[in-house]
Amino acid sequence: MFVRVLSFALLGIEAIPVAVEVDLCPGIPCMEIVGLPDTAVREARERVRSALRNGGWGFPAQRITVNLAPAHTRKMGAGFDLAIAVGVLAAAGFIPAGALEGVSLVGELALDGSLRPVRGALVMAQAARTAGCACLITAIPDAPEAALAGGIVHGAHTLSAVVRHLNGESLLPAAVPNPASDEGATCALDLADVKGQLIARRALEIAAAGSHNLLMTGPPGTGKSLLARCLPGILPALDSEEAMEVSRIHSAAGTLLGGRLMRDRPYRAPHHSASRSALLGGGNPLRPGEVTLAHRGVLFLDELPEWGRDQLESLRQPLEEGRISLARVHGQGVFPAQPMLLAAANPCPCGYLGDETHPCTCPPGVIVQYQSRLSGPLLDRFDLQVYMAPVPYQDLIDSGADSAAEPSQVVRARVQQARQRQRERFGLSGFCNAHMTPSQVRRHCPLPAGGKELMRQAFEVLGLSLRAHDRILKVARTIADLAGADRIELPHLAEALQYRTRGFRP
């Protein structure tokens, strides 16, 4: 007897429908799985065999052929276990074939017949809706996550519960999504705890308001990493469209905690020893890297000169295009990659170049070699660059300075207002000033009176590039948004120019 069951294969951050075709015929008892299965899929034979026996059905003493179509696409993982087991039971007559119409199944089987979760439940649930499936059946832990896509989702503890549901004996309840969590913003450090560093605090606010890339340099202990950890507390929450986009990515990567819709912007801070594949994505199967996991959020690279040059230079194209196109022997994939890049660096190996109290002990040649690890094209992609000098001791103990420091909640309100102005200007979800195209820069960032002369002088003195010209205007537009101004004014442009120092000294 022939039966067809629908399941899904996860490719990168997308899911494609897979028809699990099961055929039982007389012959030497065996089970063959074809259709480019990987090792985990081929091992489903033993998991399904044990699950059927322990469930009380026994294993059919016939020749069983399982085909995973389309056959030209490699199938990976244990998510096909449930579909294969239900297909075998339907072909053996334990489930009516008509009960499988419009039903899709995803889940891993344990030897006792219980169901285990798989990666990418949300992505597969969205694919099920697109394919016109009436419902999706999966493991209990995956059901709330899959329910985020809408439609009917049933969670089951065991294969027996799935069979009873399909036979109409005991229907499974429809799953509901878990409520979104807002713990991320509350767990972030507060800007009120940062002593001094007014220029760096202002740069951080501008970066958050317009999603601009920010580079902080300075001696050790000046608060670079502390400011970076404060950034999540001033970022606005994801809107509904952004939340679903980001949650899809983390579902496919298996990092969607609790199966909840993400409302806080992702904050990723990989160690500088991370490989290029970990940073950009790759592997077999293709999986998103840190730059994709930070999409719509923040990618923080601490100790920037300590990163390998190959890893850093590979970020240049994604920072410009907002996506990563990976081509590997085992497949190809296009991943979104539009994070805000936040980086921190010491000015030299000893860290004290430019420090008035600690003399630098590095020879000139060593300093040049250290700073040359960051290429000009990479530095040119940082819209804001600030040098953080050591904070005087008096500022640390001055109670007046503490009272003047704004908390993150106040700064976050300004950032939200600035982003709302950008949403109204562009009419696109998640589109910020940093993402403007050259034509949009000309339309929305006209120079004020005296602006052309100021930019001409800046180009002659700082040796700026054409890319820097547009990025300065984008930053000026963000400063104007924070001030509630409809047009860029000369003070906004002057402030944007001061963040293009392109150096490691004050």
- CATH, residue 111: 3.30.230.10
Task: Say if 394 falls within a structural domain.
Answer: yes
Condensed to tens digits (0 to 9), the pLDDT of residues 358-376 reads 889 999 999 999 998 999 8
Confidence of residue 69 (pLDDT cuts 50, 70, 90): very high
Task: Say if 105 falls within a structural domain.
Answer: yes
Task: Say if 102 falls within a structural domain.
Answer: yes
**Are 105 and 223 in a shared domain?**
no
Task: Say if 270 falls within a structural domain.
Answer: yes
- What are the two backbone dihedrals, phi and then psi, of residue 339, each rounded to the nearest 5 degrees? -90, 165
- Looking at 384, 410, 430, the residue that finishes a domain is 430
Contacts of 155 by beta carbon, 8 Å cutoff, 6+ apart:
137, 138, 139, 140, 141, 142, 143, 144, 172, 173, 175
Task: Say if 129 falls within a structural domain.
Answer: yes
Six-digit token pair at 66?
């399982």
- Looking at 430, 464, 493, the residue that finishes a domain is 430
Q: Indicate the DSSP class of residue 75.
A: B
Task: Say if 67 falls within a structural domain.
Answer: yes
Q: In the chain, what percentage of residues exceed pLDDT 70? A: 96
Confidence of residue 257 (pLDDT cuts 50, 70, 90): confident
403 vs 223 pLDDT, higher one: 223
Q: What is the pLDDT of residue 502?
A: 55
**Are 204 and 167 in a shared domain?**
no
**Are 241 and 298 in a shared domain?**
yes
Number of H helices, E strands in the chain: 23, 20
**Are 341 and 264 in a shared domain?**
yes
Q: Which of 172, 119, 128, 120 is nearest to 150 (CA)?
A: 128
β-bridge partners, 105: 137
Q: Which of 301, 246, 311, 297 is nearest to 270 (CA)?
A: 301
**Are 374 and 331 in a shared domain?**
yes
Q: What is the secondary structure of 112-164 as a DSSP string?
A: TSBEE--S-HHHHHHHHHHTT-SEEEEEGGGHHHHHTT-SEEEEESBHHHHHH
- How far is Cα 334 from Cα 386, in angstroms, rounded to an integer? 33
Confidence of residue 182 (pLDDT cuts 50, 70, 90): low
Task: Say if 95 falls within a structural domain.
Answer: yes
- Domain extent at residue 58: 2-176
- What are the two backbone dihedrals, phi and then psi, of residue 18, each rounded to the nearest 5 degrees? -130, 125
- How far is Cα 151 from Cα 186, in angstroms, rounded to an integer? 32
Condensed to tens digits (0 to 9), the pLDDT of residues 79-119 reads 999 999 999 999 999 999 889 999 999 999 999 999 999 99
Q: What is the pLDDT of residue 460?
A: 86
**CA angle, 295 as apex, 236 and 470 as ends, to 5°?**
80
Condensed to tens digits (0 to 9), the pLDDT of residues 4-38 reads 999 999 988 999 999 999 999 998 889 999 999 99
Condensed to tens digits (0 to 9), the pLDDT of residues 384-435 reads 999 998 888 777 776 554 456 789 999 999 999 999 999 999 999 889 999 9
pLDDT of 184 strictly over 80:
no
